[in-house]
Amino acid sequence: MKNKRFAIVLDTRRCIDCKACTVACKAENDVPLGSENYRNWVGEEKLRGRYPNLGQSYTPSQCQHCGNAPCAHVCPTGATEINPDGIVHVVEEKCIGCKYCMTACPYNARYYNEEIEAVDKCTFCTQRVYTGRVPACV
């Protein structure tokens, strides 16, 4: 479909920090084990209010697939590409591991994958959404 763009809506009011989304992402996408390696995460806000009226909120997040992606602009080899459907992805074979993109990303959404010797991040589960399925984290 022309001008089709993918989007994920996160309703932070419903997040309970169970981290099922991060487990699902790791399993679906063979993200290496270890706390340094992740494509999505759950941000935590400090407790607010006074006992007994306390509250806490969580913010699940991942690569924002930025329209004007700084990670793509700084890449010296063109390894980071922006698809016409808005999905930002890394071409492993072109990545030289300079990590400029990791520094440029304001969301800290990238990590270096030792197993593939390239930078990695959320791919929007293209293997799923291009075949009509929702992303694993959803």
Q: How far apart are CA 101 and CA 39, in angstroms?
A: 15
Stretch that binds ligand SF4, among 9-17, 46-54, 107-115 (CB under 6 A): 107-115
Sole binder of ligand SF4 in the list 60, 75, 89, 111 (CB under 6 A)? 75
CA distances from 88 to 12, 14, 64, 69, 123 (A): 23, 27, 9, 8, 7
**38 touches ligand SF4 (CB under 6 A):** no
Size of the site for ligand SF4 (CB under 6 A): 41
Element (H, E) at 73: helix 70-74
Sole binder of ligand SF4 in the list 87, 89, 113, 136 (CB under 6 A)? 136
Amino acid identity for residue 118 in this structure: A
If the CB atoms of residues 20 and 47 are measured against ligand SF4, the closer one turns out to be 20
Helix (H, G, I), strand (E, B) or coil at 104: helix
Q: Are 43 and 58 in contact (CB under 8 A)?
A: yes
Q: Which two tokens stand for residue 78?
A: 């063109």
If the CB atoms of residues 37 and 64 are measured against ligand SF4, the closer one turns out to be 64
Q: Which residues of the chain form contacts with ligand SF4 (CB under 6 A)?
A: 24-25, 28-29, 39-40, 62-66, 69-71, 74-75, 77, 79-80, 88, 90, 95-101, 105, 107, 109-110, 119, 121-125, 135-137
